[in-house]
Amino acid sequence: MRYFLIVICLLQSISSYSQDMEYARSIVDTLCSPHFDGRGYYDNGERRAAAFLSKEYEQIGLKSFGDNYLQEFKLTSNSIKGKIRLVVNGKKMVPGIDCLIDPSAPSYNGSSKVIYLDKDEMLNLDKFKRLLPMLANKFLIIDQTEFKEETGANKKQLNDLLLFLKFSPDIQLNGVIELVEKLTSTASQFQAKRPHVVILKEKTPKKLKKLELAIENVYDEDYQSQNVVGWIEGVVKDSFVMVVGHYDHLGRMGDDIYFPGANDNASGIAMILSLAKELAQGEKPKYSVVFICFGAEECGLVGSKYYSENPLFPLAQIKFLLNLDILGTGDDGIQVVNGSVHKDDFNRLVEINKEKDLLKEVKRRGKACISDHCFFSEQGVPSFYIYTLGGAGHYHDVNDHAENLTLREYNDLFRLLRTFILD
Ligand SMILES: [Zn+2]
């Protein structure tokens, strides 16, 4: 009989374990599906994702602060739509595989001569100034891979000049091509004066002579995004633990490609929803717990900044904030931004991890204003930003697909966070 009971308990725990993973998987699969178009701005993929998350909140049974879960705000946004055509020396480049267009690009349609500028010319400012007039009506080619051995002041000068060449309205230049080893994209809030294109160096002809480019941008001055906010009432009702992360990603780049954003950050959203589901089912937590899926992170932490400036209850009532962004692997443990700022809370994470034998390592890092905890942290809200380490994680590229995501340490991380929030 006892043996029988043990077997039943074991089966139950295995089934609830796989249930959680199944739920996490289904959230990641759904958010990365073509229906959400990479959760970007101009084609409303982000908005469809927010509607989906609202439905999940409702099903879980989260409370809302107002009539619904949405906190709306506006921003400007620039994206690339339609067909992308890039031909170098007569060879057609495939968007997403060979090249990417920076989302800040304006529309452009034409062919252009090119001119190379090397690292030494950029490090010698007199030479650089003399060369500037020669750039008129040409596409400039810069080999980024040459930059990587530089450090300190040289590296800063190269990066500053690259920004100047890409974006300064004061120079005559058709556009900038950067040769890179890896293609990663971003999102843009503004429209630049000239297009900026990145091409994989290995796919580029040795001597690039001529380029044809046809792209079309869409600039929206009044794009509406939204944060999705829900909560569970605690025993101490007016003290809050916040669990946050962004659901937006880079969206589409033209008709043919989109960025699925599985690791960044469908993985974090799956964790937020899993924790919400778990906490909503159990006993009342000691403190109220707020769950926020932020919009418009990728173009500059816009959603979380907006919330921090327009909070739904005073920020001083936040006991602790956990920002979850990129949780798809964990083979080498997790990194905790602000771990060296809030030492006691960090030590508590380490202790829980040790006690329960969960992750390989819980590593501390200092302050870093690189994700949605930033504006809360700046205003004195105790915050951690947690991301997973190790494994093959994709980042801001077209291969950040659900099927490429291992979620290797998802359950261990879930148990760690659950205990940290509830204890
Ligand atoms: Zn992210």
* Cβ atoms of 248 and 264 closer than 8 Å: no
Q: How far apart are CA 338 and CA 130, in angstroms?
A: 45
Q: Which amino acid is at 104?
A: S
In a domain, 15, yes or no: no
Cα–Cα separations (whole angstroms), residue 286 to 60, 235, 319: 19, 5, 11
Q: How far apart are CA 14 and CA 300, in angstroms?
A: 41
- Which of these three, 219, 248, 278, is where a domain ends? 219
* Cβ atoms of 290 and 421 closer than 8 Å: no
**CATH, residue 260:** 3.40.630.10
* Cβ atoms of 250 and 298 closer than 8 Å: yes
Q: Could you tell me the distance, in angstroms and rounded to a whole number, from the CA of residue 129 to the centre of ligand 1?
A: 38
Q: Could you tell me the distance, in angstroms and rounded to a whole number, from the CA of residue 372 to the centre of ligand 1?
A: 8
Q: Could you tell me the distance, in angstroms and rounded to a whole number, from the CA of residue 7 to the centre of ligand 1?
A: 41
CA pseudo-torsion sign 165, 170, 171, 173? positive
Is 373 in the same domain as 244? yes
Q: Which residues pair with 115 in a beta bridge?
A: 140
Specify the length of the chain in residues.
Answer: 423
In a domain, 377, yes or no: yes
Q: Could you tell me the distance, in angstroms and rounded to a whole number, from the CA of residue 322 to the centre of ligand 1?
A: 14
**Which residues line ion ligand 1, judged by CB < 5 Å?**
264-265, 325
Is 236 in the same domain as 295? yes
Q: How far apart are CA 173 and CA 132, in angstroms?
A: 9
Is 308 in the same domain as 337? yes
Is 418 in the same domain as 342? yes
Q: How far is CA 346 from the centre of its chain?
A: 24
Question: According to the model, what pLDDT value does residue 153 have?
Answer: 94
Is 212 in the same domain as 243? no
* Cβ atoms of 74 and 222 closer than 8 Å: yes
The total domain count for the chain is 2
* Cβ atoms of 396 and 251 closer than 8 Å: no
Q: Could you tell me the distance, in angstroms and rounded to a whole number, from the CA of residue 90 to the centre of ligand 1?
A: 37
Is 242 in the same domain as 345? yes
Tokens of 309: 């400036």
In a domain, 6, yes or no: no
In a domain, 3, yes or no: no
Per the structure, the complete domain to which residue 108 belongs is given by 78-219
Block means of pLDDT (10 residues each) for the chain, length 423 residues?
Answer: 48 50 96 97 94 98 97 97 95 95 96 93 93 93 92 94 92 95 95 96 90 96 97 97 98 95 97 97 95 97 98 98 97 98 98 97 97 98 98 87 94 96 91
Q: Could you tell me the distance, in angstroms and rounded to a whole number, from the CA of residue 297 to the centre of ligand 1?
A: 7
Is 163 in the same domain as 268? no
Residue 7 half-sphere exposure toward CB, CA atoms < 13 A: 4
Is 159 in the same domain as 234? no
Question: According to the model, what pLDDT value does residue 334 have?
Answer: 98
**CATH, residue 190:** 3.50.30.30
In this prediction the pTM is: 0.92
In a domain, 281, yes or no: yes
Q: How far apart are CA 234 and CA 287, in angstroms?
A: 4
Q: Could you tell me the distance, in angstroms and rounded to a whole number, from the CA of residue 283 to the centre of ligand 1?
A: 31
Is 150 in the same domain as 227? no
Q: Could you tell me the distance, in angstroms and rounded to a whole number, from the CA of residue 38 to the centre of ligand 1?
A: 13
Q: Could you tell me the distance, in angstroms and rounded to a whole number, from the CA of residue 389 to the centre of ligand 1?
A: 14
Cα–Cα separations (whole angstroms), residue 304 to 55, 269, 307, 322, 351: 21, 15, 5, 13, 30
Is 135 in the same domain as 280? no
Is 202 in the same domain as 229? no
In a domain, 201, yes or no: yes
- Which of these three, 184, 200, 219, is where a domain ends? 219
- Which of these three, 187, 219, 251, is where a domain ends? 219
Is 212 in the same domain as 87? yes
Buried b (16+ CB within 10 A) or exposed e, 240-255: bbbbbbbbbbbbbbbe
Q: How far apart are CA 78 and CA 42, in angstroms?
A: 8
In a domain, 299, yes or no: yes
Q: How far apart are CA 308 and CA 238, in angstroms?
A: 17
In a domain, 215, yes or no: yes
